[in-house]
């Protein structure tokens, strides 16, 4: 009886099964930005960074992202839909400029206008304006919530459009004319004053107003009427603040306020020029406007001239934003300060 061999060569080798993962592989779309095209998203990200963290479908396509990849970025929380055909980057600050980009990208031929354009140009009355206002061709719609839309029968020509921070905005002259239809006469006068103070051509403003002047358009007519009055009266000197405060601060207690008062030293040399002056009590009043007393260089210049004037006994008073809203309270404060200065100087 033979014995059974134990030599392993007699046994058929066991086949090893291929390794199988127990986890489900990720859906391919979920890894689009990381696997199929990091360079493509990088290009789209650069475009978004240059447009206030906003990206349109057409811009995404130009950078190489297709619709499926855009949808994947939305699912991954990289982008969020902000309007028709426009997205914003999740986590980026929701700035004023970003809202303008979203509005102007939501349809064709959308231009920032009226008060929103005034803020874009830095006009002082609208520095804190927070509503997005745009103008579109008649029949167009901008499907973005929370914006104000104006429609025009004649499309805005290229000569009336500039780009500020990359955003299509009406020119300064067109903005002033458009404002004439939505603001009060006193605000329009102040806007025209600032327009001229910037060195902009009044003829340019007049040309735009005449071109847009037609029946039913209140803005162009209001601007033209004001320019006619301005031509008769001559160029308005000084700032709107000086004219406003000189009128509001009229008082039986205060002596006459002298606009653009020049402070001189004992030898007649120039020291400073202030918005309003009360030389009898050496009181200098400045309208503390952001347009005229802001910025490091301007602050240094103001401090130097103030220090030189104070050596001669002058006192400076700055009336700020809140004071302009309550002229009666500002007048009462000035009357008290004037009487106190009389007492301090022994002139009471």
What is the average pLDDT value for the chain, to the nearest integer? 77
Segment 186-214 mean pLDDT: 89
Specify whether 82 is located in the same domain as 126. Answer: no
pLDDT tens-digit readout, 226-264: 998 877 765 444 455 555 565 656 778 888 778 778 888
Predicted pLDDT at 119: 94
Position with higher pLDDT, 41 vs 279: 279
At residue 81, φ and ψ (nearest 5 deg) are: -65, 130
Specify whether 104 is located in the same domain as 204. Answer: yes
The total of structural domains in the chain comes to 3
**What is the biggest distance separating any 2 CA atoms in the chain, rounded to whole angstroms?**
145
pLDDT at 33 > cutoff 70: no
pLDDT at 121 > cutoff 90: yes
Specify whether 47 is located in the same domain as 106. Answer: no
Segment 135-155 mean pLDDT: 90
Q: What's the half-sphere exposure (Cβ side, CA atoms, 13 Å) at 283?
A: 23
pLDDT at 208 > cutoff 80: yes
Specify whether 212 is located in the same domain as 253. Answer: no
- Among 198, 217, 233, identify where a domain stops: 233
Measuring CA to CA, which residue among 304, 305, 264, 258 is closest to residue 285?
A: 258
Specify whether 125 is located in the same domain as 206. Answer: yes
pLDDT at 204 > cutoff 70: yes
pLDDT at 319 > cutoff 80: no
Measuring CA to CA, which residue among 149, 171, 153 is closest to residue 162?
A: 171
Are 109 and 94 in contact, with CB atoms under 8 Å apart?
A: no
Predicted pLDDT at 288: 58
Chain position carrying tokens 């993962």: 21
Segment 256-277 mean pLDDT: 81
Instruction: Give the sheet arrangement for strand 54-56, strand by strand.
Output: 54-56, 86-89, 79-83
Predicted pLDDT at 112: 97
Segment 65-81 mean pLDDT: 84
The domain that holds 44 is classified in CATH as 1.10.10
Predicted pLDDT at 225: 93
Residue 20 lies inside a defined structural domain of this protein: no
Predicted pLDDT at 150: 95
What is the Cα gyration radius of the chain?
A: 33
pLDDT at 283 > cutoff 70: yes
Residue 193 lies inside a defined structural domain of this protein: yes
Residue 159 lies inside a defined structural domain of this protein: yes
Residue 23 lies inside a defined structural domain of this protein: no
Residue 65 lies inside a defined structural domain of this protein: yes
Predicted pLDDT at 43: 62
Mark 68-101 as b/e (b = at least 16 C-beta within 10 Å).
ebbebbeeeebbeebbebbbbbeeeeeeebbbbb
Segment 256-276 mean pLDDT: 80
Position with higher pLDDT, 206 vs 31: 206
pLDDT tens-digit readout, 152-177: 999 999 999 999 988 999 999 999 99
> How far apart are alpha carbons 76 and 320 in whole angstroms?
48
pLDDT at 297 > cutoff 60: no
**Structural domain harbouring 87:** 28-93
Segment 13-19 mean pLDDT: 55
| Residue 250 DSSP code | -
Specify whether 126 is located in the same domain as 245. Answer: no
- What's the pTM value of the predicted model, to 2 decimals? 0.58
Position with higher pLDDT, 50 vs 211: 211
Specify whether 171 is located in the same domain as 82. Answer: no
Instruction: Give the start-end residues of each E strand in the chain.
Output: 54-56, 79-83, 86-89, 111-112, 132-137, 147-152, 161-164, 167-170, 258-264, 270-278, 283-287, 315-319
- Give every CB contact of residue 170 below 8 A, 6+ residues apart in sequence: 111, 112, 113, 114, 117, 135, 156, 160, 161, 162, 178
Segment 45-56 mean pLDDT: 73
pLDDT at 89 > cutoff 80: yes
Measuring CA to CA, which residue among 195, 200, 197 is closest to residue 178?
A: 195
The domain that holds 332 is classified in CATH as 3.40.960.10
Residue 319 lies inside a defined structural domain of this protein: yes
Residue 272 lies inside a defined structural domain of this protein: yes
Specify whether 131 is located in the same domain as 161. Answer: yes
Measuring CA to CA, which residue among 25, 22, 32 is closest to residue 65?
A: 32
Predicted pLDDT at 260: 76
Position with higher pLDDT, 305 vs 280: 280
Tell me whether strands 54-56 and 111-112 are parallel, antiparallel or unpaired: unpaired
Specify whether 272 is located in the same domain as 188. Answer: no
Measuring CA to CA, which residue among 86, 260, 237 is closest to residue 167?
A: 86
Predicted pLDDT at 136: 95
- Among 176, 203, 233, identify where a domain stops: 233
Specify whether 124 is located in the same domain as 204. Answer: yes
Residue 10 lies inside a defined structural domain of this protein: no
- Among 179, 209, 233, identify where a domain stops: 233
- Give every CB contact of residue 147 below 8 A, 6+ residues apart in sequence: 103, 131, 132, 133, 134
Specify whether 271 is located in the same domain as 299. Answer: yes
Specify whether 87 is located in the same domain as 103. Answer: no
């Amino acid at each position: 009886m033979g014995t059974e061999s134990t030599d392993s060569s007699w046994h058929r080798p066991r086949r090893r099964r291929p390794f199988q993962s127990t986890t489900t592989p990720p859906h391919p779309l979920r890894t689009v930005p990381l696997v199929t095209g990091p360079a493509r998203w990088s290009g789209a990200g650069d475009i978004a960074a240059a447009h206030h963290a906003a990206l349109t479908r057409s811009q995404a396509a130009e950078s190489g992202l297709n619709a499926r990849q855009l949808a994947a970025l939305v699912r991954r929380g990289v982008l969020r839909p902000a309007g028709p055909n426009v997205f914003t980057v999740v986590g980026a600050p929701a700035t004023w400029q970003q809202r303008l980009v979203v509005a102007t990208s939501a349809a064709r031929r959308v231009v920032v206008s009226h008060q929103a354009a005034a803020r874009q140009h830095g006009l002082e009355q609208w520095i804190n304006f927070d509503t997005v206002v745009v103008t579109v061709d008649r029949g167009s719609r901008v499907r973005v919530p929370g914006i104000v839309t104006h429609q025009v029968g004649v499309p805005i020509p290229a000569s009336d459009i500039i780009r500020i921070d990359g955003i299509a905005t009406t020119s300064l002259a067109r903005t002033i004319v458009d404002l004439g239809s939505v603001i009060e006469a006193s605000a329009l006068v102040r806007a025209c004053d600032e327009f001229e103070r910037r060195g902009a051509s009044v003829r340019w403003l007049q040309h735009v107003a005449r071109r847009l002047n037609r029946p039913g358009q209140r803005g162009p007519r209001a601007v033209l009427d004001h320019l006619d009055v301005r031509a008769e009266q001559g160029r308005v000197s000084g700032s709107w603040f000086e004219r406003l405060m000189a009128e509001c601060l009229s008082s039986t207690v205060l002596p006459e306020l002298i606009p653009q008062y020049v402070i001189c030293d004992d030898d007649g040399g120039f020291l400073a020029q202030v918005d309003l002056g009360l030389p009898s009590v050496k009181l200098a009043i400045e309208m503390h406007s952001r347009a005229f007393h802001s910025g490091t260089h301007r602050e240094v210049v103001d401090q130097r001239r103030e220090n030189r004037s104070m050596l001669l006994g002058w006192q400076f008073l700055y009336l700020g934003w809140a004071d302009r809203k309550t002229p009666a309270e500002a007048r009462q404060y000035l009357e008290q300060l004037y009487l106190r200065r009389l007492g301090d100087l022994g002139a009471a």
